[in-house]
Chain A
Amino acid sequence: MAYEVCAPLLAHMSYFPVLSVPGCVGRTTLFNFPPNDWECKSGSTSYVTLTWAHNSRWHTVIVDELAYGANKSYERCHLASYLPEDSLPLLSLASSPPTGPTQLLPISPHRTYLPSWRATIELVTPHSSTSYQGELDPFPVPGSLLTLSPLLQISDSLMNFVLLLNLEKFPAKRRSMFKVFNLSQSYRFLREFEIVNNSINVIRLDNLGLEPRDLPIGICADMSAIPLYLTIADDARFLSLEHTHPPASYVIHGRRWEAQRLLKNLWFSRLQK
């Protein structure tokens, strides 16, 4: 069995989503080898599993096997026969076959921390591609979100999106609102957008009246997400994709999660007046 030594000591295994954005193809590349040589000492062929939420249950199937040391890329079209239309495909690597439909998201052992075991999560157009190394773990419920973005590239010839990627242990669908403000104009409210859990929410950020030096801030009071900022040049020849940090990353050492709570309390009270 793969990783029988380190698995029981560690937390849970991450998922690797396949993104969906209009005009782009999502492609996710899995790696069946660890990112370092000291946290996991053994390895073997792993199952590639696909998990999705449907009818308030999590469903998981084996879609492939990956030899130790190998990598392989998957697009939604490779997985479409399993998936309901609007579901978020979640790939993972597993050492044992999945069980039947479950009420909670299946969790397997995490394998490394320095760095985390990641996949290449990519968006591809006929002319270009953009990617980040990432993983997705379930957020606490209800959770919250605060994102400050200096990543928008304001220009008439560019399109800007925020992709809010959410995963929760519970498969039942719930909705919330993502509100965007302009920090540079006395926290002026710009617009709100409905978002859904266990999915990738694609939100266009152009036409909100933002200027190049403006700093937008987005909040959601009861749902967490990874905010991915995507810029597409008008002919899709050039792309950029990057996530913003959780607010705890603005500080190091000490009680940094308290710093995150402090920051969220400050801005939620300021913006929701």
Chain B
Amino acid sequence: MTRYLERLRLASWKLGQPLSRLPSSPAAVVSDLFIWRNNEDYKTSFELISLPSIFDSQSTIHADATIVINSSDGVNVLELPISFPPYCRQTLRMQDLIPAGYGPYGTFSIFHSHTPSNIGSLGSFLCERGYVGYQWGDSSVHSYAHGNLDAVARLDDYSTELLGSRSFRKRNFNLQCKLEPSAVYELALVNPVPHRQTVTFLTLLPSGAVMDSRSIILPPRGSYIFTLAPNEDNLRLVIRSNLVMARPLVFKLSRGRADVFHG
């Protein structure tokens, strides 16, 4: 009986609330909403490889993709086709692509030309969840983070469709990260849902009491970077929203170095 009730309770959190909905066109291709950062401290790059060519049983000589860049308030600021050799790595330097005047951060997506037929026949969609490199300060190394979210589809009429769904009830994402007073944490969150979302960042004391609370509104395709400089040990951060999984990208700045990882 207890197990049955528990299944029922969990179902109320899952049914009709998938992390990623099915695209409305079988010919769609899918991408994450990656975070770009572009200012005097940060440079961003993306490692592009041709995913359709990887699945193709015949060798190809040419690959195409489209990069779509959004500002932090979710406005599409650039859409650019890219042609590249299929079995090579193409490093896209975002500072060369982002138009001036759109702020220090936002999101971008990479849409490959098509979902190969052998994938489409499985009822699946090609998805770009690739690798973004962040360079902070004078670092000679890109700190890489992989894509994490099947967030947005490009349909056969070239329109885009956000695939995130809303949770019926507010839910907490408890950041499993040791927050050190010697470091500064920048947490980047995106909205993959086609509706505005209210997101609350709660800083908790070790006792669980709320020390600080800040709410923001994230427009569709929008992004926000929350900064936390812990002033004591054992603080915790909770992200409360109707997003099914409000998992942030974490930039930990410490000793003049940046460590970038998914929360």
Contacts and interface: CB of A to CB of B under 8 A. Distances in A.
A115 B10 contact: no
B261 A266 contact: no
Contact of A256 (B124, B257, B262): B124
A215 B141 contact: no
B176 A250 contact: no
A254 B122 contact: yes
A114 to B, nearest CB: 5
Given A36-B171, A214-B89, A263-B54, A127 B142 contact: no
A258 interface: yes
Contact of A251 (B85, B119, B144, B146): B119
Interface in B231-256: 234, 236, 238, 244-245, 247, 252, 254-255
Nearest to B183: A129
A38 B13 contact: yes
A128 interface: yes
A11 to B, nearest CB: 14
Interface residues of B, number: 70
Nearest to B52: A250
A1 interface: no
Nearest to A269: B57
Interface in B1-22: 2-3, 6-7, 10, 13, 19-20, 22
B140 A238 contact: yes
B174 A36 contact: yes
Interface string B45-58: 00111010011010
Contact of A259 (B119, B131, B172): B119
A33 B262 CA distance: 17
B40 to A, nearest CB: 18
B49 A215 contact: yes
B171 to A, nearest CB: 5
A250 B174 contact: no
Contacts of A71: 176, 178, 234
A237 B259 CA distance: 12
A252 B85 CA distance: 25
A266 B57 contact: yes
B171 A245 contact: no
B129 A5 contact: no
Given A114-B244, A128-B257, A252 B47 contact: no
Contacts of A33: 174, 176, 236
B54 A148 contact: yes
A69 interface: yes
Given A39-B10, A114-B245, A251 B126 contact: yes
A102 B195 CA distance: 52
Contacts of B174: 33-37
A240 B55 CA distance: 28
Interface string A199-240: 000000000000011110000000000000101110001111
Interface string A177-205: 00000011000000000000000000000
A256 B115 CA distance: 13
Contacts of B181: none
Q: Interface residues of A toward B: which range?
A: 35 or more
Interface string A101-129: 00000000000001101111000000111
Nearest to B204: A69
B91 to A, nearest CB: 8
A43 B49 CA distance: 44
A252 B30 contact: yes
Contacts of B127: 249-252
A99 interface: no
Interface in A122-145: 127-133
B99 interface: no
Contacts of B7: 9
Contacts of B13: 38-39
A157 B140 contact: yes
Interface string B96-125: 000000000000000000010011001111
Given A132-B261, A266-B55, A253 B247 contact: no
B178 A29 contact: yes
A249 B32 CA distance: 12
Interface of B: 2-3, 6-7, 10, 13, 19-20, 22-23, 30, 47-49, 51, 54-55, 57, 85, 87-91, 115, 118-119, 122-127, 129-131, 133, 139-146, 150, 171-178, 206, 208, 234, 236, 238, 244-245, 247, 252, 254-255, 257, 259, 261-263
Interface of A: 5-6, 8-9, 29, 31, 33-39, 69-71, 73, 114-115, 117-120, 127-133, 148, 150-151, 153, 155, 157-158, 183-184, 212-215, 229, 231-233, 237-240, 242-245, 249-256, 258-259, 262-263, 266
Nearest 4 interchain pairs by C-beta: A254-B123, A254-B124, A150-B47, A37-B172
Given A215-B89, A249-B129, A250-B126, 4 more contacts: A9-B7, A70-B234, A71-B176, A158-B140
